[in-house]
Structure 1
């Protein structure tokens, strides 16, 4: 029931992204950035020195820097270790007891350490909206568009995108700032989002539309 070992695979390229049914485009004054589950426990199954992990960390870091420079809220999700069985729920049947409270499990990878102004949400289920106040915090900041990065593309990232859509929040998956168990599942997740609930773009698509990207370099 533990997480599987993950082989190296290449991230989607710009010319391979699916065409989204939704007409939405990234709007800096409406967007928030989500960095989903980038904890050491979830990153450990990836090769540490080969694609996709180093690539998504670099892309997420660039997006987070640009978001902060443009006053775009940055949200993180992070699970807590040593969960009670009652709190972990059905996830325990599929994935076992989960992480411990050790830093090598709970800690967000150092390259993506949250800034003081960022908001870290406790993660309870696949979707970042479940048992959290993510929607309330977004609405209070006038945000109705969510840029989704992190892991895993076909599980929590996809569930979050689907729920955002059902809450009338526009989800945009950043294809090369997410990673998954393998290339087929990553591709499936991007196709599902594009066909059913949101936009699918590249890191460069977003950075090119940030007013103050140069200031983040």
Structure 2
């Protein structure tokens, strides 16, 4: 996993009267960057052999962000019940479950079920927000972009699962919306290691995201 270079104390680059962030040091402040915790749900983490390790790393990031006063938004994914499932949901579930017909599909991550809940190690506080979604991008069909813009926040750090399924489209979508994403690589889990490696290659090729690790970003957060 490639990681962004260690930040320096060099001044932020400017153009057209605007600050152009280039390093984590440019972004890591509670008035410039939020933390997005992506789909850390019981029914998702339970599918990953290293799920508990991912939970532990995400908890470290959340605790550091809380201690430094960063805005924190949690995301949860759900699928609609069978009666309300359309072409997108049915095709996706059939593909994931290798089902030959809709009758074979298990309708997972249903709202108000234990699998839908966030893992018990991550309980949102009163000053944090939980957004629910049916899409892979955290910015599609949710008020996330409006929320960040209203706080005048142009960047976010993201941790959670699964990198290759939901975090990649979130990063791509958000850059089209003008946000700067910071992917906390070792706090992002997934099941397909080859697809995850391709994701990091794509981040590097596109240049649309900074990639860091838990130790680096929590260290910067703790500096205030």
Q: TM-score, normalised by structure 1?
A: 0.80
For the structure 1 residues 119 and 87, does the alpha-carbon distance in structure 2 shift closer, same or farther, using more than 3 Å as the test?
Answer: farther
User: Are 2:38 and 2:158, in contact at CA under 8 Å, matched by a contact in 1?
Assistant: yes
Question: CA–CA distance in 1 between the matches of 2:123 and 2:176?
Answer: 30
| Runs of 4+ with >6 A deviation | none
Question: CA–CA distance in 1 between the matches of 2:135 and 2:147?
Answer: 18
The equivalent of 2:67 in structure 1 is 69
For the structure 1 residues 81 and 23, does the alpha-carbon distance in structure 2 shift closer, same or farther, using more than 3 Å as the test?
Answer: same
Q: Which moved further from structure 2: 160-169 or 72-81?
A: 72-81
For the structure 1 residues 89 and 146, does the alpha-carbon distance in structure 2 shift closer, same or farther, using more than 3 Å as the test?
Answer: farther
The equivalent of 2:11 in structure 1 is none
Q: Give the greater-gyration-radius structure (CA).
A: 2
After TM superposition, the structure 1 = structure 2 runs for residues 157-172 of structure 1, keeping only pairs within 5 Å, are 157-172=167-182
After TM superposition, the structure 1 = structure 2 runs for residues 47-196 of structure 1, keeping only pairs within 5 Å, are 47=49, 52-80=50-78, 82-83=80-81, 86=84, 89-96=87-94, 97-101=107-111, 103-196=113-206
The equivalent of 1:209 in structure 2 is 220
Question: CA–CA distance in 1 between the matches of 2:193 and 2:151?
Answer: 35
For the structure 1 residues 162 and 81, does the alpha-carbon distance in structure 2 shift closer, same or farther, using more than 3 Å as the test?
Answer: closer
Question: CA–CA distance in 1 between the matches of 2:86 and 2:123?
Answer: 25
What residue ranges of structure 1 are gaps of 5+ in the alignment?
1-15
Superimposed CA distance per residue, residues 180-199 of structure 1 (whole angstroms, 9 cap, x where no aligned partner): 11322222222212321111
Question: CA–CA distance in 2 between the matches of 1:32 and 1:85?
Answer: 36
Question: CA–CA distance in 2 between the matches of 1:116 and 1:165?
Answer: 29
User: Are 1:19 and 1:194, in contact at CA under 8 Å, matched by a contact in 2?
Assistant: no
Aligned length: 193
The equivalent of 2:41 in structure 1 is 39
User: Are 1:81 and 1:102, in contact at CA under 8 Å, matched by a contact in 2?
Assistant: no
What residue ranges of structure 2 are gaps of 5+ in the alignment?
6-20, 95-106
Superposed CA RMSD in Å reads 2.2
Question: CA–CA distance in 2 between the matches of 1:193 and 1:67?
Answer: 24
Kindly state the Cα deviation for residue 69 of structure 1 after the two structures are TM-superposed: 1.7
User: Are 2:186 and 2:214, in contact at CA under 8 Å, matched by a contact in 1?
Assistant: yes
Question: CA–CA distance in 1 between the matches of 2:57 and 2:72?
Answer: 14
